[in-house]
Structure 1
């Protein structure tokens, strides 16, 4: 495990609200990364000032890169190009890691020498942290092939730990895409025969809140794009025909207002 050196990467645009919470969870890892690379992609709020403040007190080196609205995929590829280590761990600016997240992934990577991508299970919280739980249970790892992706995308982008070699072989993030760039990456990896390894404890926290582009932007456009990607995924992964109605059902559900969806999940 001592040979696993990690660069944490993040891209952010107008994300100051949860930025300190997110980066603090990186700094407090029991197996900390060797560095953090943050690309601030054209924020017009106080994100840049918050980042500089956090860098001054960070316990590990933090590289800050300032760009002017180059887009999510290009910003991710730029963060990767600035990272110095073999293993890369992405975290979105409004998500969090539990303290043992990277340590458990490093153990999993050591146990499976062929592993190029290790993820964790995810728990969902709302707003300031409603619903957050401590991860408990025995350590276990589940290999995931293409059949695990037929119904939904089982990987939270903030949970991934992958090698630079993996990213190079699948071609990096597609800079022609503006949304859901991670799903496109997983599809290309699966078609090349990659197996993903999941640490089964929910060590990554995905935060849902009203400030997300999904909630405040063009919901119909976003969900329709998701619908198209889901159909493309099923086609390219050669899923059985009976999985194809699922994207239609999900499209309808995702256009229900968030307040109602929240109650339905209770």
Structure 2
């Protein structure tokens, strides 16, 4: 089982790494992809003997994720943002679910914390009554928190990887391609990730660019998603 953590100048990186190392699941590799950081690398020095620390030129989160998934060796791969945390039983619980369901990809519920690590709200994952409503939601938004994802390692390459031309919404676009490929996107209604909201996060600092990318993706895939939703139970 592999956990990939893309890292770029994040002051919370050691908290993410520690949460990955604190997993109850016994067989985990933690891969940190340093996407050309210019600060906070020293926070990782105490962890170097416990993780795979790989540096690369700055290319954005999509390129870091593609690289991390390529070097991962686990049967399954999970994505953890450098400012978020996994709960200790996250990997054990989700891996057991993946095995039981013979799933290729799953996502989960999550809680939210602030910049100080204090939980501010719980059970924030979006829930849908039918597969059709879940698929339809992608026509205007991304209902999946990327850091709750676990997928079979080879799935990313089979789908062509994250689109590195999308700086902020590469995950949204990939989940759409998962759906359009006919793969079941399983949901676990357990908060297994703690998502951090803070003033320095990308969704705060880059909202205009994010909205532009979202609109472009919606225009590209909306009709295909609508056609797909009509083919599944309402």
Query: 1:30-109 residue pairs with structure 2 within 5 A?
Result: 30-46=24-40, 48-56=41-49, 58=50, 62-109=51-98
Shift in Å at residue 207 of structure 1?
0.8
Using the size of structure 2 for normalisation, the TM-score is 0.85
Partners of 1:10 and 1:103 lie apart in 2 by 18
Equivalent pair of 2:110/2:122 in contact (CA under 8 Å): no
User: CA 1:20–1:146 in 2, change beyond 3 Å: closer, same or farther?
Assistant: farther
Task: Give the corresponding residue for 2:201.
Answer: 212
What's the TM-score, normalizing by structure 1? Answer: 0.75
Cα offset, 1:89, TM superposition: 0.8
Aligned length: 222
- Aligned-residue offset at 1:170: 1.2
Partners of 2:7 and 2:35 within 8 A in 1:
yes
User: Which of 119, 124, 134 is the aligned partner of 1:148?
Assistant: 134
Corresponding position of 2:231: none
The structure with the largest alpha-carbon Rg is: 1
Where structure 1 has 5 or more consecutive residues not aligned to the other structure, the ranges are 1-5, 136-141, 241-266
2:3 corresponds, among 2, 5, 8, to 8
Q: CA deviation at 1:231?
A: 4.1
Displacement after TM superposition at 1:65 (Å): 0.8
1:174-189 superposed matches below 5 A = 174-189=163-178
**Structure 2 SS opposite 1:150:** helix
Give the 3-state SS of the residue equivalent to 1:80 in structure 2: helix
